[in-house]
Amino acid sequence: MGTVVSLRGASPAAASAVRAVFAGYDHRYSLWDPASVLSRIAAGSLRLPDAPEVVRDVYALALSWRDRTGGAFTPHRPDGVVDLSGVVKALAIRDAGEVLDAESDDWMLSAGGDVLVRGTHRADAPWSVGVVDPARRDLVVGVVRLTGRRRAVATSGTAERGEHIWRRSASVFVQATVVADDIVTADVLATAVVAGDEDDLRRLTADGDEDVLAFGADGTVWATPGAAHWVEPAEGAAPVEPTTAFQGSRRDVGPAWSACLLRCRCPKVREHRDSSSLGEGGCSSHSSTDPHLI
């Protein structure tokens, strides 16, 4: 899959089983391996209807996500080749997680920007995942603490691998992090956000239960209310001019978008994240004319 996989909290036997899961997905779906099923389909030596049922099932899953995301996510490259890399990494993580679940109550599996966990890091601490600033890879702008049913984090973007996501519109987002109950949902939605535009982002978060933090190409940061709590102010940071994502009132953009924009580093950023400080005019810490509120 061309990515680094790391594992914590597992025995050598479980780690070996996880490697076997990823190797199996690579064998079927890698377009870099000329002997893989998907490479044979791309080369025309195997028809998709004649592919193994498991491959056809994954393709059907990818098509269902294409429909659910309004086409922001797609299993087809611009040249028409079927490429299932948008779902197979998450599926491999999911299946590897089932292997780990059978052995341990506490583990973390990470693969290429996707993280799946179970249990806790320590008895008194949940698993924590850092979110980096796409403009400064050495700067962690937020920390996701995974508790309860929230087990999955996926980040998609262009900062490390460049433009590897097929966009159907002009670039709007350079990175998106999604927290969900399952890794497939988190991974697909993160990809769909980066591939889409502002309308896609609104639609993808309108009815869902997922938390989303997205970074715009212009430096704007967008967040659903649940994601607002990930971001911590920089230690001793001076206030900076905040940016704006939407013009207009919060009522104009729907109930999912009721958090402050998180590029703001003012001393009251913690108060911003408290929903009680968000009135109809925006955050009570600033006047209603300040542009960093949505």
> pLDDT tens-digit profile of 29-43?
999 999 999 999 999
CATH tag, 5-118+126-232: 3.10.520.10
Arithmetic mean of pLDDT, 18-27: 95
Q: Is the pLDDT of residue 148 over 60?
A: yes
Question: Cβ–Cβ contacts within 10 Å for residue 279, how many?
Answer: 11
Segment 170-187 shows an average pLDDT of 90
Sign of CA dihedral 164, 170, 171, 177: negative
* pLDDT grade for 216, boundaries at 50, 70 and 90: confident
Tokens 């970074």: give the residue: 215
pLDDT score for 171: 64
| Listed residue (42, 18, 16, 14) closest to 28, CA to CA | 42
Report whether 117 contacts 107 (CB < 8 A).
Answer: yes
Name the pLDDT band for 271 (thresholds 50, 70, 90). Answer: very low
pLDDT for 170 equals 63
DSSP SS3 for 258? coil
Q: Cα-Cα-Cα-Cα dihedral of 53, 68, 191, 55, to 10°?
A: 0
Distance CA 136, CA 163 (A): 17
Q: Which residue has the higher pLDDT, 208 or 91?
A: 91
CB distance 72 to 98 below 8 Å: no
Domain boundaries, the chain: 5-118+126-232
pLDDT value, residue 139: 82
Exposure b/e, 90-109, CB count within 10 A at least 16 = b: bbbbbebbebbeeeeebbbb
Q: What's the average model confidence in pLDDT over 118-132?
A: 87
pLDDT for 12 equals 93
pTM of the predicted model as reported, rounded to 2 decimal places: 0.77
* pLDDT of 58 above 90: yes
Average pLDDT over residues 11-37: 95
Alpha-carbon separation of residue 207 from 121, 175, 201, 210 (angstroms): 31, 21, 11, 9
Q: What is the mean pLDDT of the chain?
A: 77
Q: Are 131 and 40 in contact (CB under 8 A)?
A: no
Within 10 Å of residue 47's Cβ, how many Cβ atoms?
A: 9
- Tokens 């980096």 map to which residue? 132
Asked whether the predicted pLDDT for residue 249 surpasses 80, the reply is no
**pLDDT exceeds cutoff 90 at 242:** no
CA-angle at 269, arms to 263 and 274, nearest 5°: 120
Query: DSSP 3-state assignment of 112?
Result: coil
